[in-house]
Structure 1
Amino acid sequence: MTVNRRTLLGAVATAPVWGALPFRSARAQAANTIRIGVLNDQSGLYRDISGPGSTQAVRLAVQESGITQRGVNVEVVEADHQNRPDVGSTVVRQWIDRDGIDVVVDVPTSSVALAVNTLVREKNKVFINSGAATSDLTGAQCSPNTIHWTYDTYNLAKGTGGAMVRAGGQTWFFITADYAFGHALERDTTAFVTAAGGRVLGGVRTPFPGTTDFSSFLQQAQRSRAQVIGLANAGGDTINSIKQAAEFRITRGGRTKLAGLLVFVTDIHSLGLEVAQGLVLTETFYWDLNDRTRAFTQRVGAMPGNLRPSMVQAGCYSGVLHYLKAVADMGVAAAKASGAEAVNRMKAMPTSDDAFGEGSIRADGRKLHPAYLFEVKTPEESKGAWDYYKLISTIPANEAFRPLNEGGCALVRS
């Protein structure tokens, strides 16, 4: 059963959660119920990459896990964190203290994810992060209760940043969203650029959320004469940056190139191939990558707005499917009693699903799977709807993410 948080709270206000069930029956049913909270941006610039589509993906994971056929009840609720850490923390605290949520899923916006990470650890629940990118979640702020599933800033910086430097982009200027995600992405990309002999000529930080006009920032970047303008932003900010760069003809002539450091297939759809063609980007999931990803896409169906699933939404499916496998393996009572033990069981089990293929989870909570460097097709190369990417290279799972001993995670034994 999937309900909206507002609907759920309304029901709680007007009637007992378990209706007319006798107290013992209600308690027994509650003890055999896993509650999943999907927390993300339901109304802002990250809605298309997460939002209601992530809940849709979670529902498919519940169905395909087979756990309900074993007599286990699973409830899914959702809420909008509005890209604000205070809102996200308030929702999660109420979910856990009042509504008995066992696992929090998704949480794009790194500042919100870091706040939720701390709270879930305090409450000993489970946090499966798919939407936030900061690599600090498996570094200095790693937690025994958190798994970072889909991608992170190190992975993006190595994929896209490394590719741009190898292609000759030696001088960079960053346009960075001014919050934890943007800072981490700029930091990690800078490390790859400088290690390869490149230089960062400057940068500007843009207010988040709320920036829609990037013209002055793009003009600053152009005046720096950097070969690469690194867009350390995401979602609507990236779309607006790329559109406005095209309007100002900043990349005309080929001397200056844009590096979209976090770009989703839904962004390309919004931009159109005429504008987006030639962009190089890193993703860990693409709906048309292989037979398994196409099968998953068909089963999950069109996302709200008739969109294809993003890697964030695919990560919500994959993470919840693996969590429910762990619950089935260890038992509902044990999984509910300790989120840290549930995460330990997840780490001990290999992962496998149609969205990401085979994988594993490291001691620091980093989910491992391959990453893919894509180039956006020209309109002439595309053979139909949503045929947007051509594969440049595959980064193996053991190379796609930061080495285990370099993150500074306290869970990693030297």
Structure 2
Amino acid sequence: MLAALLLSVSAGAAMAGPTVKIGVMNDRSGVYADATGQGSVVAAEMAVADYAKSLGLTVEVVSADHQNKADVGASIARQWYDRDKVDAIFDVPTSSVGLAVNQVSREKSKAFINSGAATADLTGAQCAPYTIHWTYDTYSQANGTAGALTRRGGDTWFFLTADYAFGHAMERDARQTVLKDGGKVVGAVRTPFPATDFSSFLLQAQASKAKVIGLANAAGDTANAIKQAGEFGIVEGGQNLAALLIFIGEIRALGPKAAQGLILTEGFYWDLNDATRAFSKRFGERLSGRMPNMIQAGVYSSLVHYMKGVAATQSTDAAKVVEWMKANPTDDPLFGKGTIRADGRKMHDMYLFEVKKPSESKSEWDLYKVLATIPAEKAFRPIAEGGCPLVNKS
């Protein structure tokens, strides 16, 4: 029924240790394929190549396309766990699919390390014992981008919201941030997911006279909305666009002229330091010169820590491995040092970026300048506010 792209990566172990099978599940053919897709598989392969042998592990990587459908994602997860003996699932963009895989993983007592889905509910009401939310979430995106724009004077907002779990969560968290920082939400409209024509929705936003139009969508949908907003002269007319979740691939596709001045929040940028540049160069050599985004970097980083947990516990049992992962600090070349909270939230700094002007950009991937570093404890929702049942038990 499902055409699963199967990629095997074996790392010969210097000594006998656990054999591990991990699944990278994401969008390989739709609106999020560029943001995750083969790039996330490449990142997983690189993590295995860099660490598995020295940790004494043999690791196999399989991957599949969830088609951005929750039922498809849940079906793949069940098949992987029950028939294919997959030990842990990684990536899983699209919040509705992430929540579905989260539930299956809870039922099967398996590790689910999410880098791709945004909904902060994964560490809130829907938190699960063996789920870790690695890279970013709707709270961090809203807190970074919406907070910065509101404090800069963008105090009236209108939202274009993708009509599924991610969009709803993003609008909710951005709305709370706007109100907390003294702003006002004057309206919102739900848009289909995925969508190619945002004309009628943008006209409603334009007519609202809101200072900021918040795009509570992602990846290709966000890029399409920005292009069409340019056709309507929305920014030239005095309104600002807030890309609440957009990745470097979409920024590059838009080009500095169309994207210049956009404010965005990410947890990783290829040109942050020597370590991120070295990794990104190797990544680009495997993927036609592309630079990784924060989701793909998160797949690498999360798999590194997971493999360390397997090696330390000499087990693939989710309870033992995730307990070790939460008890021990994270440390990798892409995100540096971090921790994992009781609710499964991976804690690391986030960054507020501005897209460079064409005159400032020295190459096709030289696109961001850092406006601010957002410390982890300020970037992510306080643990007491999430409503995660695990916190009450810890």
TM bracket, shorter-chain basis:
over 0.9
Task: Give the conservation status (yes or no) of the 8 Å contact 2:7–2:61.
Answer: no
What CA distance in whole angstroms lies between the structure 1 residues aligned with 2:135 and 2:371? Answer: 20
CA displacement at 1:201 relative to structure 2: 0.8
What CA distance in whole angstroms lies between the structure 1 residues aligned with 2:263 and 2:251? Answer: 11
SS of residue paired to 1:5: coil
- Aligned position for 1:317: 300
Which of these residues, 187, 206, 231, is aligned with residue 172 of structure 2?
A: 187
The higher radius of gyration belongs to 1
Task: Give the conservation status (yes or no) of the 8 Å contact 2:4–2:65.
Answer: no
What CA distance in whole angstroms lies between the structure 1 residues aligned with 2:361 and 2:53? Answer: 41
What CA distance in whole angstroms lies between the structure 2 residues aligned with 1:46 and 1:411? Answer: 31
- Aligned position for 1:401: 380
> Comparing 376-385 with 181-190, which one deviates more in the overlay?
376-385
What CA distance in whole angstroms lies between the structure 1 residues aligned with 2:346 and 2:88? Answer: 17
- Aligned position for 1:219: 203
CA displacement at 1:384 relative to structure 2: 1.8
- Aligned position for 1:25: none
Whether 2:362 is the aligned partner of 1:363: answer no
- Trace 1:13-412 onto structure 2 (pairs within 5 A): 32-65=18-51, 67-69=52-54, 71-209=56-194, 211-253=195-237, 255-302=238-285, 304=287, 306-331=289-314, 334-335=315-316, 338-412=317-391
What CA distance in whole angstroms lies between the structure 2 residues aligned with 1:384 and 1:114? Answer: 38
CA displacement at 1:303 relative to structure 2: 5.9
CA displacement at 1:292 relative to structure 2: 1.5
- Aligned position for 2:13: none
- Aligned position for 1:5: 4
Residue correspondences, number: 384
Task: Give the conservation status (yes or no) of the 8 Å contact 2:28–2:67.
Answer: yes
> Comparing 226-235 with 382-391, which one deviates more in the overlay?
382-391
Q: 1:275 to 1:302 in 2, by over 3 A?
A: farther
SS of residue paired to 2:129: coil
Q: 1:289 to 1:219 in 2, by over 3 A?
A: same
TM-score by length of 2: 0.94
SS of residue paired to 2:99: helix
State the AA in 1 paired with 2:255: G
State the AA in 2 paired with 1:233: N
State the AA in 2 paired with 1:41: D
Task: Give the conservation status (yes or no) of the 8 Å contact 2:252–2:364.
Answer: no
Task: Quote the RMSD (CA, aligned, Å).
Answer: 1.6
SS of residue paired to 1:287: coil
SS of residue paired to 1:262: coil
TM-score by length of 1: 0.90
CA displacement at 1:6 relative to structure 2: 4.9
SS of residue paired to 1:374: strand
CA displacement at 1:305 relative to structure 2: 5.1
What CA distance in whole angstroms lies between the structure 2 residues aligned with 1:251 and 1:183? Answer: 25
What CA distance in whole angstroms lies between the structure 1 residues aligned with 2:56 and 2:212? Answer: 55
SS of residue paired to 1:122: helix
CA displacement at 1:121 relative to structure 2: 1.1
What CA distance in whole angstroms lies between the structure 2 residues aligned with 1:221 and 1:7? Answer: 44
Task: Give the conservation status (yes or no) of the 8 Å contact 1:61–1:320.
Answer: yes
1:168-207 Cα offsets, whole Å, 9 max, x none, are 0111000010000000000000001111221111111111
Task: Give the conservation status (yes or no) of the 8 Å contact 1:302–1:308.
Answer: no
Task: Give the conservation status (yes or no) of the 8 Å contact 1:302–1:309.
Answer: no
Could you tell me which runs of 5 or more consecutive residues in structure 2 were left unpaired when the two chains were aligned: 9-15
What CA distance in whole angstroms lies between the structure 2 residues aligned with 1:252 and 1:407? Answer: 39
CA displacement at 1:342 relative to structure 2: 1.2
The sequence identity of aligned pairs, in percent, is 60
Q: 1:266 to 1:112 in 2, by over 3 A?
A: same
Task: Give the conservation status (yes or no) of the 8 Å contact 1:53–1:303.
Answer: no
**Where does structure 1 differ by over 4 angstroms across 4 or more consecutive aligned residues?**
6-9
State the AA in 2 paired with 1:148: H
State the AA in 2 paired with 1:398: E
- Aligned position for 1:26: none
State the AA in 2 paired with 1:377: K
What CA distance in whole angstroms lies between the structure 2 residues aligned with 1:400 and 1:163? Answer: 12
Could you tell me which runs of 5 or more consecutive residues in structure 1 were left unpaired when the two chains were aligned: 10-28
CA displacement at 1:299 relative to structure 2: 2.8
CA displacement at 1:81 relative to structure 2: 0.2
1:85-138 Cα offsets, whole Å, 9 max, x none, are 000011110011000000100000000000000100111111010000000000
1:129-155 Cα offsets, whole Å, 9 max, x none, are 000000000000001110000000000
